[in-house]
Amino acid sequence: MEMQMIATENLSRKFDGMTAVDGLSFHVDRGEVFGLLGPNGAGKTTTIRMICCLIGKTSGKATVGGFSIDDPAGTMSIRKLIGLVPDNVGLYEFYSAYKNLMYFGRLYETPESRITSNIESLMKKLDLWDRKDDPVSTYSKGMKQKVAIARALVHDPEILVMDEPTANLDPEAARTIRDTILDLKKEGRTILLNTHNLDEAQRLCDTIGILKTKLLAVGKPQNLERSIFGRNTVIQLEYAGDEVVQAVRGTNPRKYTVEGNSITLELDDPEKETPRIVSAIVAAGGKIKSVNETTGSLEDVYLKLVRGE
Amino acid sequence: MRFWKSWLIARKEFDFIRIKKSALGISFGLPIGLGILLPLITYLEITRKKVPIEAVTPLMGSFAFYFIIIAALIPVYTSVSSIVVEKIERSLEPLLATPTSDREILVGKYIATFVLTIVGTYIGAAIFVTLMDTLTRSSIGYFYFPNTAFDIALFAAAPAASIFSTAFGVLSSSRVTTIQSAQSLSVVPLIPLIIIYLTGELDLINLNDTSILAYVAIGLAVAAAIVFQVSTAVFDREEILTRWK
């Protein structure tokens, strides 16, 4: 069994009687990229802050790297395990990127020699090295976000927690940040990613949790799509005549619809049923142009769950 | 409590203050200005207005109290901005996410404000003593400064006033949500000092009296210790992160 780096059980948080996070239960395995997807005000940042021990919980449990967020001694250990990229970069603008990273490396109690080597490798990897001594105030938004990522990694943490890392960035800068996250994923980092960008979640995350105060669904992106919308098989024919439709009906699919020369089937077990249906169509004289499987997109899943449709 | 972490935070504060002209102006401009202005006023009183020496020396002695007030005044700006600026620029969240305790962070802020205040105050006081002695020696016949009352004011009461005011500034800035309200609240430590000064001016107490100054120093030290404890106890990282928009 893979080690759970982050685990929450019925984690809840209320502010002045208003519930921000309600009964959240999920886990993130070592090396997994877990995306918390949800609209603004869904409780994503509150969840991250509880996990990073920045704010307390109202009820429930959470552990990070085996340490409980309730245990004051464990809190310091949790902070060392995590590198946080907050929704606002929060850099010291008067400092250079290098000095920002040096300062945080020291605060994270990293040995001096390791800080300098980490800074150099991170800044080179993120294409910041040439401007390492320039004040951060002169950087573009994308560069600042890269510095924030480098800051989160300067102590070489086991877990990276990122809150909307590409929000407010132009497409090119957002792409660079996403590529950086993909590289970190390849390195085997455990990443908890808050986002409301569906495309980003789909591209980067192994597992997605859809949050709207409560966790509405959790699973692999593909599984989520299938579990919400099922799996449809679309058979495109040269001509969908009565004999062919009759043959399809004879195979007893859960549901089927005919639209022009295309037959869409809802099947319980497509791997077993599709070959049988294809054989029946061919036996009935049907000429098949293509057979494809379709399902709802992550966007469909998200909107269906968030809107409560 | 790891002092090296507090020192690390203090060093970052020094770097910030170094580029912040308004902080430098208040921390150094104010005491230096006072250190120049007071001896000049005294000199003019003696030479132009022909005020008798017996009337001037008690006034000179009471000037020491200005440096206690200055030591309490500088942190109103610097201590408040050290927390509030971090809140506004959102740099407090990554700082709080590091394995650093609230006390280590606050002590770092205290050190930076205290050192800055004391250095500024002492530079101003050194200028004051030098100029005052130079300008008044021929009239008085001896070097009036330093003296015991001045030493108590400068080396006991002024540091205590600085810590008291710093702690109060941190306390208020961690409880309110704007720099203006934090600064308004932070002037509170000045009120008792101004009252004591006015009481001296009304001849109700003698501000040259070493025992009075010693009581002031002890009172400020006790107040500083209490407010310091309260400010670290009520520093609520959650409140700061969630209430500030």
Model pLDDT, residue B86: 80
**Chain A CA closest to residue B85:** A92
* Across B98-105, average pLDDT: 90
Give the gap in angstroms from C-alpha A300 to the nearest C-alpha of chain B. Answer: 32
Residues A202 and A151 in one domain: yes
Residue B122: strand, helix, or coil: helix
Does any domain span residue A309? no
| Cα atoms in the 13 Å half-sphere on the side-chain side of A151 | 31
Burial of A152 (0-12, 13-18, 19+ CB in 10 A): buried
* Across B77-83, average pLDDT: 74
Does any domain span residue A89? yes
Domain around A240: 228-296
Number of H helices, E strands in chain B: 13, 0
Residues A109 and A179 in one domain: yes
Residue pair A42/A212 in contact by the 8 Å Cβ criterion: yes
pLDDT at residue A230 is higher than 70: no
Model pLDDT, residue B181: 77
How many separate domains does chain A show? 2
Model pLDDT, residue A130: 92
pLDDT digits (tens, 9 = 90+) for A60-72: 999 999 999 998 8
Domain boundary pick from A184, A219, A254: A219
Residues A143 and A287 in one domain: no
Model pLDDT, residue A309: 58
Residues A68 and A111 in one domain: yes
- The complex's ipTM works out to 0.83
Q: Give the CATH number of the domain where residue A178 resides.
A: 3.40.50.300
**Torsion (CA) A88, B113, A95, A100 in degrees, nearest 10:** -60
Residues A138 and A213 in one domain: yes
Residue B90 near chain A (CB below 8 Å):
yes
- Mean of the per-residue pLDDT values of chain A: 88
Does any domain span residue A304? no
- Tell which residue, A38, A249, A26, has the closest CA to residue A164: A38
Listing DSSP states for A92-143 in one string gives -TTSBHHHHHHHHHHHTT--HHHHHHHHHHHHHHTT-GGGTTSBGGGS-HHH
Residue B7 near chain A (CB below 8 Å):
no
Model pLDDT, residue A256: 87
pLDDT at residue B43 is higher than 70: yes
pLDDT digits (tens, 9 = 90+) for A3-59: 899 999 999 999 888 999 999 999 999 999 999 988 888 899 999 999 999 999 999
> Starting at the edge strand that comes first in sequence, how are the strands of the sheet with A4-15 ordered?
A18-29, A4-15, A59-64, A67-68
Give the gap in angstroms from C-alpha B113 to the nearest C-alpha of chain A. Answer: 18
pLDDT digits (tens, 9 = 90+) for A139-175: 998 899 999 999 999 999 999 999 998 887 888 888 8
Question: Distance (Å, rounded) from C-alpha B89 to C-alpha B84?
Answer: 9
Model pLDDT, residue A137: 93
Fill in the DSSP letter of residue B189.
T
pLDDT digits (tens, 9 = 90+) for A239-290: 888 888 999 888 888 888 888 899 988 877 888 888 999 999 999 888 999 9
* Paired residues of A28 in beta bridges: A6
CB contact under 8 A, B97 and A54: yes
Residues A129 and A259 in one domain: no
Does any domain span residue A301? no
Burial of B49 (0-12, 13-18, 19+ CB in 10 A): exposed
Give the gap in angstroms from C-alpha A43 to the nearest C-alpha of chain B. Answer: 12
Model pLDDT, residue A2: 59
CB contact under 8 A, B96 and A86: no
A54, A84, A90 member nearest B90 (Cβ): A90
pLDDT band at A1 (very low <50, low <70, confident <90, very high): very low
Residues A283 and A142 in one domain: no
B12, B89, B99 member nearest A93 (Cβ): B89
**Burial per residue of A15-32, b for 16 or more beta-carbon CB atoms within 10 angstroms, e otherwise:** eeeeebbbebbbbbbebb
Residues A62 and A147 in one domain: yes
Residue A150 near chain B (CB below 8 Å):
no
Does any domain span residue A302? no
pLDDT at residue A234 is higher than 50: yes
* Paired residues of A294 in beta bridges: A232
Structure tokens at B114: 């205290």
Q: Which amino acid is at A283?
A: A
Domain boundary pick from A176, A194, A219: A219
Give the gap in angstroms from C-alpha B238 to the nearest C-alpha of chain A. Answer: 5
Does any domain span residue A308? no
Model pLDDT, residue A29: 93
pLDDT at residue B169 is higher than 90: no
Residue pair B101/A79 in contact by the 8 Å Cβ criterion: no
Residues A141 and A234 in one domain: no
CB contact under 8 A, A106 and B97: no
Rg (CA), chain B: 20
Tallying the residues shown for chain A, one arrives at 309
**How far is the first Cα of chain A from the last one, in angstroms, to the nearest whole number?**
36
Percentage of chain A lying above the pLDDT 90 cut: 49
Residue A55 near chain B (CB below 8 Å):
yes
Residues A12 and A160 in one domain: yes
Structure tokens at B24: 């430098």
pLDDT at residue A229 is higher than 70: no
Residues A200 and A265 in one domain: no
Structure tokens at B127: 């200028």
Residue pair B232/B106 in contact by the 8 Å Cβ criterion: yes
Domain boundary pick from A192, A219, A246: A219
Q: Give the CATH number of the domain where residue A245 resides.
A: 3.30.70.980
Question: Distance (Å, rounded) from C-alpha A23 to C-alpha A62?
Answer: 11
Does any domain span residue A243? yes
Q: Which residue has the higher pLDDT, B136 or B236?
A: B136
Residues A197 and A240 in one domain: no
Does any domain span residue A256? yes
pLDDT at residue A115 is higher than 60: yes
Give the gap in angstroms from C-alpha A111 to the nearest C-alpha of chain B. Answer: 14
pLDDT band at A100 (very low <50, low <70, confident <90, very high): very high
Fill in the DSSP letter of residue A251.
T
CB contact under 8 A, B15 and A86: no
CB contact under 8 A, A108 and B99: yes
Cis, bond preceding A72 (omega within 30 deg of 0): no
